[in-house]
Amino acid sequence: MRTIAIDAMGGENAPKAIVDAVLKVKPELPETKMVLFGDEAKIKALIPAEQLDDQLAIVNTTEVIADEDEPVKAIRSKKDSSMVVAANYVKQGKADALLSLGNTGALLASGIFIIGRIKGIARPGLMPTLPASSYNNEFNIIDVGANAKSKAEYILQWAKMGTFYAEKVRGIKNPRVALLNNGAESDKGDDLHQEVYQLLAEGSLNFIGNIEGNELMTGKADVVATDGFSGNVALKSIEGMSSVLLHSLKDSLLNNGLFTKLGALMIKGGINEMRQKYDTARHGGAVLLGVNAPVVKTHGRSGARAIYYTLKQVDKILKENLISDFKNEFGK
């Protein structure tokens, strides 16, 4: 049986959305046990008694790491927080993966300092799955901010881990790998990106060359390798533009007279379809790759539906033995 440790206290809708998602996914994952970490009384009140069976347990914790807490300090001082206790569970082998909606920095620190790096991995990288504009497509991008300073060696390992993930978890054959850069040609970018380009070109991955920011969403690559700084800028720029445009669309539709307002009602279905397509939550959480267990972060504002998808994603990572593959590959 696989076991997922779930921080039930992180995010805006905790613990209700988390518990709802767990109850929804439970019958679909009969081989999987889920352990909720947090305020036992509050969590228990949300769960019908008969659901607390072999597949579902609660571990009471008394502290919560807040979004504004300084990450490394928080995991050291809040020893009885839902996140830290859950991470220790994983470290002790009592659970196989960690999921949280809480403080991203603290979760990364829990992964790196408590659960620990895989031997042979220089730096773990954070990798979300994002929607691409071509039909039913998505792409992975790694690292998006676990590392402000990157070396060629790190980026190569991220590209390789991303490839493993795309193959096994997303079922892509021979995933196309691209390097985020400021132009298409091989000599583009600074020294770091030129070096990584050469190494990828000479390596064994299915490297298709550089990709620019405006091509990310086209689905041209299955896996985008990037230094953690630029990756963070790209991810946040995409999120920011998407949010600004969708809000602006709403404003334009509501403030252009009755005729437009009526039209807006009529296109609701179309807009919702688009919203869903670019709803990053549907594509699961961001995975910290390179630590001894899957550590997955999903948006703090996620509702039960997004968490449900993320739980299925975590289960799939475990089922596919991704961590064993990494250990075999990098621990040699």
Instruction: For residue 232, state whether it binds a second copy (rule: CB under 8 A).
Output: yes
Instruction: For residue 218, state whether it binds a second copy (rule: CB under 8 A).
Output: yes
- Closest residue by Cα to residue 37 from 4, 2, 71: 4
Instruction: For residue 72, state whether it binds a second copy (rule: CB under 8 A).
Output: no
**CA-based Rg of the chain, rounded to a whole angstrom?**
20
Strand order in the sheet with 295-297: 56-60, 32-38, 2-7, 97-100, 295-297, 286-289, 125-127
Instruction: For residue 52, state whether it binds a second copy (rule: CB under 8 A).
Output: no
* Pick 276 or 328: Cβ nearer a second copy: 276
Smallest separation (angstroms) from a second copy to the CB of 215: 6
Among positions 246, 300, 303, 327, the unique one binding a second copy when judged by CB under 8 A: 246
* Pick 223 or 311: Cβ nearer a second copy: 223
Q: At what angle do helices 322-330 and 152-168 cross, to 10 degrees?
A: 140
Residue 330 identity (one-letter amino acid):
F
* Pick 31 or 251: Cβ nearer a second copy: 251
Among positions 10, 124, 145, 284, the unique one binding a second copy when judged by CB under 8 A: 145
Instruction: For residue 184, state whether it binds a second copy (rule: CB under 8 A).
Output: no
* Pick 239 or 320: Cβ nearer a second copy: 239
Instruction: For residue 230, state whether it binds a second copy (rule: CB under 8 A).
Output: yes
- Closest residue by Cα to residue 299 from 107, 56, 75: 107
Smallest separation (angstroms) from a second copy to the CB of 22: 29
Among positions 92, 204, 269, 324, the unique one binding a second copy when judged by CB under 8 A: 269
CB 276 within 8 A of CB 282: yes
Stretch that binds a second copy, among 113-121, 199-207, 236-244, 319-327 (CB under 8 A): 236-244
Report how far residue 276's alpha carbon sits from residue 282's, in angstroms, rounded to the nearest whole number: 8
**Residues 6 or more apart in contact with residue 45 via CB below 8 angstroms:** none
- Closest residue by Cα to residue 127 from 290, 238, 3, 279: 290
* Pick 260 or 321: Cβ nearer a second copy: 260
Residues 41, 45, 47, 53, CA torsion sign: positive
Q: Which residues bind a second copy (CB under 8 A)?
A: 133, 145, 148-149, 180, 182, 188-191, 193, 212-218, 228-230, 232-249, 251-253, 255-257, 259-260, 262-267, 269-271, 273-274, 277-278
